[in-house]
Amino acid sequence: MAITKKCRHPRAQWRRCTCSWYWDGYLDGRRKYIPLGPDRDEAQRKAARIEADRLDGKAAPVPRDVTVVAVADRWLQHLESLGRRPQTLRAYRTSASAVAKYFGGTWDVRLIDAGEVAKFRTDAHASRRGHGGAHLMQALRGILNQAHREGHIGAVPQAPFERRTIPPNPNVLMTEAETDATIAALRPSHWQDMAEVILLTGLRVSEALALRWDDLDPAARTLHVRHSAEQHGAVDAPTKTSRSTRRIRLEDEVVAILSRQPRSDDRIFPRRYGAANSAMRRALTRAGTYKRDRGWHSLRHTNAALRDRAGQSIRQAAAELGHGPNFTMTASYGWAAEAAEAPPISKVRQRHDQPSAT
């Protein structure tokens, strides 16, 4: 049994580099290189299985339609047929590519068992920050579910349940003093208005950029969130999830900010995603509050902290922020409070000279 690598690293570095191992041998009279993944112990185990099948006369080339890459492509096509947003599809495609690279691409999806799923989960969380490991696991489950739908595997292999609490990224969080300084540094003033709206409502920046005048009801003081702006596409794409389509109550301050915007377009903030990100980066630098990963989403985190301070219940906050299960709030925003009634966000917000411990 021989396992080898086809990378450019010297042989002495093979145990340390993350390139895939390959089984090197003959099948059906032809020399074959079969990818085994980056872990040496797993590669030896897979190679031993190939050798045993070869000696028993059961070894055969892996059909092209059951390789990890082929199944991943069909899974992405399935998501596209369900009407997923282009931006979401790009994120899934990136995660699926990482999964295919981990398993060697042409590895038979039918050989992925529960042990390999568990090991992949450990490696994914070790190699990615924040929710990156969870995104890779989601892609792997999607690929395995696709293989199950097509009848290639009888049941989807599951790793043992493991609860993970992912703490909020400390770089994203800002004190209220930093938040106010950043908003004051935004130029021109329409970015300040949009920032105030995001801070007081918890909208995603993609949702704020897609707001239309017919979404606003000043008399009822409500806002209908039903569109989302793509970073590299349409400004009327569907929202991130089905729960993100929602009606939220507005405070008088938010209604006043939205109502004073010029009606020169169907949208309330007729700006592009790239321009918004550039304006925020310049403001963070100008205010001296720049840190990696900070941006418009930091205002959404500040809004969640203000809701917590106001004593708003997790269920109500999750509904108004467009989140799903309650654990999303506790994992992403460090939620603690639980109450039935809460004062308006603007009433608990501390202004420029009153820093918060949030």
* CATH, domain range 176-348: 1.10.443.10
Domain topology for 65-149:
DNA polymerase; domain 1 (1.10.150)
Cα 204 from Cα 300, distance rounded (Å):
7
Q: Are 245 and 221 in contact (CB under 8 A)?
A: no
Say what the pLDDT of residue 219 is: 93
* pTM above threshold 0.75: no
Say what the pLDDT of residue 33 is: 73
Note the maximum CA span of the chain.
79
Residue type, 269: F
Strands (E) in the chain, as ranges, are 3-5, 21-27, 30-37, 216-217, 222-225, 246-249
- R_g (Cα) of the chain, nearest Å: 25
Q: CA separation (Å) from 320 to 174, 227, 253, 348?
A: 21, 15, 17, 17
Q: CA separation (Å) from 64 to 68, 106, 109, 155?
A: 9, 8, 11, 21
Q: What are phi and psi of 328, to 5 degrees?
A: -60, -40
* CB neighbour burial string for 257-276, b if at least 16 within 10 angstroms, e if fewer: bbeebeeeeebbbebebeeb
Whether the ω angle into residue 86 lies within 30 degrees of 0, i.e. cis, is no
Does the fold of domain 176-348 match that of domain 65-149?
A: no
Show pLDDT as tens, one digit a residue, over the chain (358 residues).
578 887 777 877 777 787 878 887 776 666 677 777 788 888 888 888 777 776 665 544 556 678 888 999 999 999 988 888 787 888 899 999 999 888 876 778 888 888 888 888 888 888 776 677 888 999 999 999 999 888 888 888 887 766 666 666 778 888 888 999 999 999 999 999 999 999 999 999 999 999 999 999 999 999 999 998 887 767 778 888 888 999 999 999 999 999 999 998 899 999 888 899 999 999 999 999 999 889 999 999 889 888 888 888 888 888 889 886 554 555 455 544 333 345 666 666 755 444 344 3
CA nearest neighbour of 73 among 39, 37, 38, 109: 109
The encoded tokens of residue 292 equal: 């990696």
Neighbours of 162 (CB within 10 A): 9
- Which residues sit opposite 247 in a β-bridge? 224
| Contacts of 214 by beta carbon, 8 Å cutoff, 6+ apart | none
| Contacts of 170 by beta carbon, 8 Å cutoff, 6+ apart | none
Cα 58 from Cα 53, distance rounded (Å):
5
Say what the pLDDT of residue 342 is: 54
Q: CA separation (Å) from 137 to 42, 96, 104, 122, 351?
A: 19, 10, 16, 10, 41
Say what the pLDDT of residue 161 is: 62
Domain boundaries, the chain: 3-61, 65-149, 176-348
The encoded tokens of residue 276 equal: 């918004």
Say what the pLDDT of residue 141 is: 92
